[in-house]
Structures are given as structure tokens and as C-alpha cells.
């Protein structure tokens, strides 16, 4: 349909704005009406972020590596190399893919020796498997500490934020006090106390991790949740002002039900993001403590303790430091980028 | 217990909020200061007043969303207390003002409407739940295909229908409608108001209809109460209040209603009040309206007038009129 042309100087309405929509334009509206949930929408955005996708791929690869490698590498992390049951004293500080003299002789006889992909350490242990186990330990520490922080922080923050008033005031002052404690000092003190008083050797899992790890987890449980608690509280304070929370109360819903079905789902994005960013910080803390000699008990390796040991032979065997350091960087960077990606995708305040 | 002819009886309801001043002290904000009214089964009481006069607080305190400072609310003759409120929530429901923030963005329409059913466990199995939800959705004019959608996919009017459906899910006898149409377009307002009236005819539910639009309130209400600064100043049948208002505040409110006929509008005289509404933190002594009332006398400053019957249940709180 032809529209009369509008004089530029005329104050008349522009009739071209009132043309009927074509069929094609109407179909566009149809596609728009597809129902998307908040989660789907966020995931779509996350998948568009190349850095986040890259981090997911890297983390998946590392995860596959640390689960599969110990299955087919014939060495274990604390095993000193031996050939035919004889201790291989020459396999000290081998370069990557090098064989010791005993192993070379064994190969010459027709025997098979699995290559030392990253060489060996100063105690004649295969370094590759130690780095893999170290990554396992570091990742486990990171995940476990984050879960501890998540559970305590979310519970505490949710109660404080939902209750409000005097309860909130007192709970937040406790948080302030905990915030002011020097965490490193507490870790050191706790590990000393535990070494003197507690015996973890009966408990199968903890005995291999050592008392230092127990105190590390405990410190995460005691000190590090405060950031999460503050975050969750602030989020809940704003969410609970929404009328749908009042509507749930007017229906007769109990506070527990309201927190579970209305408040937590609406701040889940903040919680996911904070947890994703908590993992690298926990890994970092563990590496740092292991580097200081306060980490996992020997001979269990962690990335930090591997780096610490490698420091002594830095000039002759610098690769021994490079492998764990690169692994720490990869893991920490991947989690940080993933956390940033999650925040960009899920935080409604950053929506454009 | 239920020998009373009123469904809802409110007697001298007071709601004072504590506003902290400094570390330990606080002053009272008298949001609602001695409000009394009754609502019969199937009746609509309109509650009007300007912003901040305590209309919404009355509605919320009535439903015990706030703990009242003093006064009593009886439902079906039964005193509403903290202990028996949970079963009573099935009987008294609320429709909220803002159709955007009153629906949880993470829930589907089905779950929003089903939530009251879940809370009060009003179904035996999943199928019964779904059937109930679909029948309520039909009642408020929503399609069955809307059930799996999220609230943000709907227009304001549709969202308000969802909110009404949620309130109706438990078959209440009484609904507090807290400015349910003031966030909507005028054309949608008419639809929603007509729906309120239809639902009342079908289900016999009573409304406390809170609004600041006198035309809307007059249209839907059987009786109207006018609030000023936490008190009811006049309460009468809708037509009576509209045709022969007595309280000076009601007079000025009614004169502010736009008249759709320009010829008549030109003849009518607006009564423009002087000054602002006093802060509810520093209420005037005596009658709260006296600072802006041209009939105010010394007596008004000393003693607050209570509602007195001027015939036909037309109650007015004023010394001079």
C-alpha cells in the first residue's frame, strides 16, 4: 500500500510508521515468543563467551587427565623406581623422556619401560604421575574448601538476611570479628595444635592428606565463609523486599519454604559465581601453604609442595618447577575465567 | 462462633512502625492509628486516600503480614491471632499492586498458582493439582497453554490475572485488593475490574478494594471508606458518599475527580487544599486534618473526633460538619 509522502516541515504524524507488518515480520514475533528460562538464557550467553568455553574445555581435559592417567601409568606417586625388583639408583633427576642406565639395559634385553614423560625427581620417582596426583590433590582441596564455604556461607547469610533486625546485626558483627582474624596465623596455629593433640592416622582418607590439610579445611570452614555469607545476605536483603515474597507469606508459606522456593533460586546465580571464583582462591591458598611447608603431608604431592621441592634444584632442573607452576596457572586461570564468564552470563545487574 | 453477620470486623486497629533514631532510640510512625470497619460476606468495601495515608498498611496488617500494634481483627467472628492465622490464610488472600514484582521470575505460571495449593496441601495427586490450576486459570481468562510459561512473558494485565488466580486458588472468602489496577493501562483496568465483579458474583467473595482512584472505587464498591493520615474520616454507601459527602477532606477529594464532560467540568469548582500532608512522624494534635481544613476550630486541635453515625450508616469523623 502506498503511503502519501510526508513533508519534512509538516508536524503531521509520519504515516510510514503505521504500515501493516508483513508476514515475514509477523513470523519474527513468533520465534521471539519461545519460552526460555533464566538458566537456559544464561547458558546460551555463557556458550557464546569464547574464554568461558575455553576454560570449560581446559578444565574438562584436566579432569579427564587426572582420572585416566593413574589407570594406565604403571608408577605410583610414592613409588621409587625399580627395574626387575632392583632399586634403580641411577634414575635420579632424569630429563623428560630420558631413561636411566638400568632401564636402558633392560630395554636392550627386550623389556618394556613406560617413558618418564616429565622425567623423575631427586628421589627417583616418576614426576609425571606426581604432578597428576598433585593436581588431583589441589583440585580436591579447591572443590572441597569451596563446598565448605558454600554450605556455611549460604546458610549463615540466608538466615541473617532473612531474619533481619537484631539477629542480622549480631550475626554480621560476628562476621566482622572473623573477618579481622589473620587467616595464615590461624592455619599455622591449628596445624601445630592438631599435630600435638589429634591422631588422624586411623582415618584412612585423612591420614594420607595429613594434619595440615585438616587444619586447612577447618580454617576454610571457620574463616573463609564470611565473604560468601556477606554476599548472600546482601542479595537476600534486596530479594526479600520483592512483593512475591510478601505474596508467599500471605499464602501462609513458612520461612523455610520461602527461603527454599523463592529467595535462594533468585540468588543462585550470585552463589554459583562466588563458588566458581572461590575454587581458584582455595587452590592458591593450598599451593601457597604447601610452598611454605604447611600443606599436604609427604609423600603425598600437591602442586604447591612440588614447586617448593623443585625450588632447591632450580638451576639444574628448572623444568621441575615449570610443570607444577604451569598446572597451577592453568587451573586457576581456567576457574577464574569461567567464574567471570558465569558472572557475565548470569548476573542480572550486568545484563545489557 | 460465627453468629456475627460480618465476615471481617476490624476494631481500633493500630500499626505503629518503629523508626530508629540513633543507636537505641526510636520514634513511632503511626501508619494506621485506630481504624475500625466491618465487611459483610460478598460485599466490597472501597478504601481510598492519598499516597502514604496507610491504606496498604491497613490491608497488610489485616492479613497479619505485619503484627498490629494494637486492636483486633475478627474473621467470621473468630479473633485472628498469631496462632490461628495459618489456617485462616486459606480464607483471606491478597492481590498485590505491582504485577511485575509480585510474581516470582523463576516460577512458571502453573507453579505460581499451585503454590498456595502446595502450602495448604489441597490436592491428593499431581493430576488433581493440575486440574485445579487449569480450572482457576480458565476462571480468570488465561489459556491452558500459558501454564508452562514464565511471568516475564506476559503483559501487565495478564500478570495481574495470574496474581488474582493465585489468590483464588484456595477458595478464599475475602480478598484484600491492594491497588490491583493502578499499575495498569486504563483499558486493561476496566477488564480487570469487570473480572473482579464477575468473580464476586460467581464465588461470593468479599473484597477490601484499596485504590486512590475514586471513580474506580465508586464503580466496584458497595461502601467506601476514606482515609487520611492513618484514620478513617468518612465511611458510607458508595452512592451516598459520592452524592452527599460530608467530611471536608472527602469533599476536596471528590472535587479532584476528573469529569469526562468538559462543559460540566468548567462549572464545577475544585476545592484545593492548602499545605502538605503532615508527616506521620509528627502528627498534629487532635484531628489530623485540622492543619489543612478551612472549618478547623480550637476544639479540633484538642480532641480528635471519632466516627459518628449521620444516618443510614453514613459515618463521619468531624466536629464541625
Cα separation, A45 vs A351, in Å, equals 10
pLDDT at B78: 87
Q: Is the pLDDT of residue A151 over 70?
A: yes
The helix/strand/coil state of A302 is coil
pLDDT value at B1 more than 90? no
Provide the CATH number for the domain formed by A133-350 in this structure. Answer: 1.10.3720.10
Cell numbers 497453554 correspond to B145
* Same domain membership, residue B197 and residue B255: yes
Residue B37: predicted pLDDT: 92
Q: Which helix (H) or strand (E) holds A83?
A: strand A82-83
Grid cell, residue A71, equals 589407570
pLDDT digits (tens, 9 = 90+) for B16-60: 888 877 777 788 888 888 899 999 999 999 999 888 888 899 999
How high is the pLDDT of residue B58? 92
The yes-or-no verdict on residue A320 having pLDDT over 70 is yes
- Domain boundary (B171, B194, B213) is at B171
On whether both B204 and B305 belong to a single domain, the answer is yes
Looking at residue A208, its pLDDT comes to 64
Same domain, B246 and B115: no
Q: What is the percent of chain B where pLDDT is above 70?
A: 98
Q: How far apart are CA A286 and CA A290, in angstroms?
A: 6
Is the pLDDT at A32 greater than 60, yes or no? no
Q: What is the pLDDT of residue A209?
A: 67
Domains of chain A by residue range: 80-124, 133-350
Q: Is the pLDDT of residue A80 over 90?
A: no
**Choice among A320-324, B266-270, B286-290 with the minimum mean pLDDT:** B266-270
Rounded to a whole number of angstroms, the distance from the CA of A251 to the nearest CA of chain B is 6
Is residue B315 pLDDT above 60, yes or no? yes
Kindly state whether residue B193 falls inside one of the protein's structural domains. Answer: yes
Q: Is the dihedral of CA A246, A249, A253, A255 positive or negative?
A: positive
Query: Residue A64 pLDDT more than 90?
Result: yes
For residue B81, give how far its alpha carbon lies from the nearest alpha carbon of chain A (Å).
14
Nearest CB among A244, A252, A265 relative to B103 is that of A244
Last residue of some domain: B149, B171, B193?
Answer: B171
The total number of structural domains that make up chain B:
2
Spatial separation of the C-alpha atoms in residues B110 and B112, rounded to whole Å:
6
Q: In what order do the strands lie in the sheet with B70-75?
A: B25-39, B8-21, B70-75, B78-79
Q: What is the mean pLDDT of residues A276-305?
A: 81
Alpha-carbon gap, residue B137 to B299, rounded angstroms:
55
CA B232, distance to chain mean position in Å, is: 13
- The per-residue pLDDT for range B95-139, each reduced to its tens digit, is 998 888 889 888 889 999 999 999 988 888 999 999 999 999 999
The pLDDT value given to residue A339: 87
**pLDDT tens digits, residue range B219-265?**
999 999 999 988 999 999 999 998 888 999 998 888 888 887 888 87
Q: Which of B91, B104, B112, B165 to mutate to test the interface with A (most CBs of A within 10 A)?
A: B104
Last residue of one domain, picked from the residues B171, B194, B224: B171
Nearest CA in chain B to A249: B65
In terms of CA atoms, which chain B residue is nearest residue A242? B101
Give strand pairing partners of B20: B26
Which residue from B210, B215, B107 is spatially nearest to B152, judged by alpha carbons?
B107
Instruction: Please say if the pLDDT value at position B269 is more than 80.
Output: no
Identify the residue whose cell numbers are 632399586: A87
The residue of chain A nearest to residue B148, with distances taken between CA atoms, is: A35
A99-103, A321-325, B20-24, B177-181 — which is least confidently predicted? B20-24
Count how many residues are written for chain A. 352
Considering only CB atoms, which chain B residues are within 8 Å of A37? 106, 150
Which of B106, B171, B174 should be substituted to probe chain A, the one whose Cβ sees the most A Cβ atoms within 10 Å?
Answer: B106
- The mean pLDDT value of chain B amounts to 87
Task: For an interface test with B, give the residue of A32, A242, A250, A263 to mutate (most B CBs within 10 A).
Answer: A250
- pLDDT at position A74 is 81
Question: Given A246, A250, A265, which is nearest B89 (Cβ)?
Answer: A250
Is pLDDT of A107 > 80? yes
The residues that bridge with A176 in the sheet, in sequence order, are none
Question: Confidence class of residue A13 from pLDDT cuts 50, 70 and 90?
Answer: confident
- Dihedral (C-alpha) B138, B139, B142, B143: value to the nearest 10 degrees? 10
Contact B182, B97 (CB under 8 A): yes
The predicted-structure confidence for A124-144, as pLDDT tens digits, reads as follows 888 888 899 889 888 888 888
Confidence of residue A343 (pLDDT cuts 50, 70, 90): confident
- Cα separation, B29 vs B13, whole angstroms: 14
Distance (Å, rounded) from C-alpha A70 to C-alpha A133? 8
Cβ contact, residue pair B96, A243, below 8 Å: yes
Residue B4: the pLDDT is: 62
Residues B297 and B215 in one domain: yes
Task: Tell whether B188 and B241 lie within a shared domain.
Answer: yes
What crossing angle do the helices spanning A303-312 and A264-291 adopt, rounded to 10°? Answer: 20
Q: Which three cell numbers stand for residue B201?
A: 458474583
Distance from CA of residue B10 to its chain's centroid? 13
Question: Are A266 and B150 within 8 A, CB to CB?
Answer: no
pLDDT one-digit tens code per residue, A238-259: 888 888 998 998 888 888 888 8
- What does the pLDDT read at residue B2? 46
Q: Is B233 found in the same domain as B154?
A: no
Q: Which of B86, B98, B120 sits opposite A243 (nearest CB)?
A: B98
Considering the domain architecture, whether residues B35 and B180 belong to the same structural domain is answered as yes
* Omega before residue A184 within 30° of 0, cis: no
Residue B3 lies in a domain: no
Higher-confidence position of B280 and A323: A323
What ipTM is given for this predicted complex?
0.84
Give me the pLDDT at residue A347, please. 67
Are B152 and B242 members of one domain? no
A147 CA: distance to closest CA in chain B (Å): 24
CA separation for the pair A288, A282 (Å, rounded): 10
pLDDT of residue A352: 43
Query: B177 and B118, same structural domain?
Result: no
Q: What is the pLDDT of residue A29?
A: 56
In a domain, B96, yes or no: no
The residues, any chain, with a CB within 8 Å of residue B34's CB and separated by 6 or more, are: B12, B13, B14, B71, B230, B231
- Please give the Cα distance from A36 to B33 (Å, whole number): 47
Residues of A in contact with B106 (CB under 8 A): 37-38, 262, 265-266
- Helix (H/G/I), strand (E/B), else coil: A203: coil
| Mutation to test the B interface, candidates A251, A262, A269, most B Cβ within 10 Å | A251
The secondary structure of chain B, three-state, reads: CCCCCCCEEEEEEEEEEEEEECCCEEEEEEEEEEEEEEECCCCEEEEECCCCCCHHHHHHHHCCCCCCCEEEEEECCEECCCCCHHHHCCCEEEECCCCCCCCCCCCEHHHHHHHHHHHHCCCCCHHHHHHHHHHHHHHCCCCHHHHHCEHHHCCHHHHHHHHHHHHHCCCCCEEEEECCCCCCCHHHHHHHHHHHHHHHHHHCCEEEEECCCHHHHHHHCCEEEEEECCEEEEEEEHHHHHHCCCCHHHHHHHHCCCCCCHHHHHHCCCCCCCCCCCCCCCCCCCCCCHHHCCCCCHHHHHCCCCCEECCCCCEECCCCC
Does some domain include residue B287?
yes
Distance from CA of B225 to the nearest CA of A (A): 23
B296 and B184 in a common domain: yes
Q: How many percent of chain A have pLDDT more than 90?
A: 14
Span A101-125, mean pLDDT?
81
Asked if the Cβ–Cβ distance from A247 to B148 is below 8 Å, we say: no
The percentage of residues in chain A with a pLDDT greater than 70, rounded to a whole number, is: 88
B272: left (phi over 0), alpha (psi -120 to 50) or beta: beta
- Contact at CB, A37 and B150, closer than 8 angstroms: yes
Give the A:B interface size as CB pairs under 8 Å. Answer: 65
All cell numbers assigned to A138: 589441589
Q: Is the pTM of this model over 0.90?
A: no
**Mapping DSSP to helix (H, G, I), strand (E, B) and coil, where does residue A82 land?**
strand
Q: Are B29 and B281 in contact (CB under 8 A)?
A: yes
pLDDT of residue B154: 87
Judge if B147 and B281 occupy the same domain: no
Q: What percent of chain B is predicted at pLDDT more than 90?
A: 31
Contacts of A242 in chain B (CB under 8 A): 101-102
Residue A281 neighbours by CB distance under 10 Å: 19
- CB spacing of A262 vs B89 below 8 angstroms: no
Query: Quick one: B179 and B248 in the same domain?
Result: yes
Report yes or no on B97 lying in a domain: no
Distance from CA of B61 to the nearest CA of A (A): 11
pLDDT (0 to 100) of residue A333 = 92
How far apart, in whole angstroms, are the C-alpha atoms of residue B16 and residue B32? 7
Host domain of residue B177: 8-91+172-316
Check A247 against B119: CB less than 8 A apart.
no
| Element holding A87 (H helix, E strand) | strand A86-87
Amino acid at each position: 500500500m502506498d503511503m502519501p509522502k510526508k513533508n519534512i516541515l509538516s508536524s503531521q504524524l509520519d504515516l510510514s510508521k503505521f504500515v501493516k507488518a508483513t508476514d515475514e515480520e509477523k513470523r519474527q514475533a513468533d520465534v521471539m515468543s519461545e519460552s526460555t528460562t533464566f538458566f537456559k538464557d544464561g547458558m546460551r550467553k555463557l556458550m557464546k563467551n569464547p574464554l568461558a568455553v575455553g576454560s570449560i574445555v581446559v578444565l574438562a581435559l584436566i579432569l579427564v587427565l587426572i582420572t585416566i592417567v593413574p589407570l594406565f601409568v604403571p608408577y605410583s606417586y610414592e613409588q621409587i623406581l625399580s627395574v626387575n625388583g632392583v632399586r634403580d639408583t641411577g634414575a635420579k633427576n632424569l630429563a623428560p623422556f630420558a631413561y636411566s642406565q638400568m632401564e636402558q639395559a633392560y630395554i636392550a634385553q627386550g623389556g618394556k619401560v613406560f617413558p618418564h614423560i616429565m622425567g623423575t625427581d631427586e628421589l627417583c620417582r616418576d614426576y609425571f604421575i606426581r604432578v597428576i596426583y598433585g593436581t588431583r590433590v589441589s583440585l580436591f582441596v579447591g572443590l572441597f574448601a569451596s563446598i565448605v564455604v558454600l554450605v556455611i556461607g549460604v546458610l549463615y547469610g540466608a538466615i541473617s538476611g532473612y531474619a533481619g533486625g537484631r539477629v542480622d546485626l549480631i550475626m554480621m558483627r560476628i562476621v566482622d570479628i572473623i573477618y579481622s582474624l589473620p587467616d595464615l596465623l590461624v592455619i599455622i596455629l591449628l596445624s601445630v595444635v592438631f599435630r600435638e593433640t589429634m591422631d588422624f592416622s586411623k582415618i584412612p582418607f585423612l591420614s594420607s592428606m595429613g594434619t595440615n590439610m585438616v587444619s586447612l579445611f577447618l580454617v576454610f570452614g571457620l574463616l573463609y565463609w564470611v565473604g560468601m555469607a556477606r554476599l548472600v545476605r546482601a542479595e537476600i536483603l534486596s530479594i526479600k523486599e520483592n512483593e512475591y515474597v510478601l505474596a508467599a507469606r500471605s499464602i501462609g508459606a513458612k520461612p523455610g519454604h520461602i527461603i527454599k522456593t523463592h529467595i535462594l533460586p533468585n540468588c543462585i546465580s550470585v552463589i554459583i559465581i562466588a563458588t566458581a571464583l572461590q575454587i581458584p582462591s582455595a587452590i592458591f591458598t593450598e599451593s601457597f601453604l604447601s610452598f611454605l611447608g604447611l600443606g599436604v603431608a609427604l609423600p603425598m604431592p600437591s602442586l604447591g609442595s612440588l614447586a617448593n621441592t623443585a625450588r632447591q634444584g632450580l638451576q639444574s632442573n628448572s623444568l621441575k618447577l615449570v610443570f607444577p607452576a604451569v598446572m597451577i596457572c592453568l587451573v586457576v586461570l581456567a576457574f577464574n575465567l569461567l567464574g567471570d564468564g558465569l558472572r557475565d552470563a548470569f548476573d542480572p545487574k550486568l545484563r545489557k | 462462633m460465627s453468629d456475627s453477620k460480618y465476615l471481617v470486623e476490624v476494631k481500633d486497629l493500630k500499626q505503629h512502625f518503629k523508626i530508629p533514631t540513633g543507636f537505641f532510640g526510636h520514634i513511632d510512625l503511626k501508619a494506621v492509628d485506630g481504624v475500625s470497619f466491618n465487611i459483610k460476606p460478598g460485599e466490597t468495601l472501597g478504601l481510598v486516600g492519598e499516597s502514604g495515608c496507610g491504606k496498604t498498611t491497613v490491608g497488610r496488617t489485616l492479613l497479619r503480614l505485619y503484627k498490629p500494634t494494637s486492636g483486633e481483627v475478627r474473621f467470621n467472628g473468630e479473633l485472628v491471632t498469631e496462632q490461628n492465622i495459618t489456617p485462616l490464610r486459606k480464607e483471606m488472600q491478597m492481590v498485590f499492586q505491582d504485577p511485575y514484582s509480585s510474581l516470582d521470575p523463576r516460577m512458571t505460571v502453573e507453579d505460581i498458582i499451585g503454590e498456595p495449593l502446595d502450602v495448604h496441601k489441597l490436592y491428593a495427586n499431581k493430576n488433581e493439582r493440575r486440574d485445579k490450576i487449569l480450572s482457576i486459570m480458565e476462571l480468570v481468562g488465561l489459556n491452558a497453554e500459558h501454564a508452562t510459561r514464565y511471568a516475564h512473558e506476559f503483559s501487565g494485565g495478564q500478570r495481574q490475572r495470574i496474581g488474582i488466580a493465585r489468590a483464588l486458588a484456595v477458595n478464599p472468602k475475602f480478598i484484600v485488593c491492594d491497588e490491583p489496577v493502578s499499575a495498569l493501562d486504563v483499558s486493561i483496568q476496566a477488564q480487570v475490574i469487570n473480572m473482579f465483579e464477575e468473580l464476586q458474583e460467581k464465588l461470593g467473595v468479599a473484597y477490601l478494594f484499596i485504590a486512590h482512584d475514586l471513580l474506580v472505587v465508586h464503580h466496584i464498591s458497595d461502601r467506601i471508606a476514606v482515609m487520611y493520615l492513618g484514620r478513617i474520616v468518612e465511611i458510607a454507601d458508595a452512592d451516598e458518599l459520592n452524592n452527599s459527602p460530608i467530611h471536608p477532606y472527602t469533599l476536596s477529594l471528590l472535587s479532584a475527580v476528573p469529569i469526562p464532560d468538559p462543559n460540566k467540568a468548567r462549572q464545577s469548582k475544585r476545592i484545593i487544599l492548602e499545605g502538605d500532608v503532615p508527616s506521620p512522624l509528627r502528627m498534629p494534635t487532635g484531628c489530623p486534618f485540622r492543619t489543612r481544613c478551612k472549618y478547623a476550630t480550637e476544639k479540633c486541635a484538642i480532641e480528635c473526633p471519632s466516627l459518628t453515625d449521620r444516618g443510614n450508616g453514613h459515618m463521619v469523623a468531624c466536629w464541625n460538619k
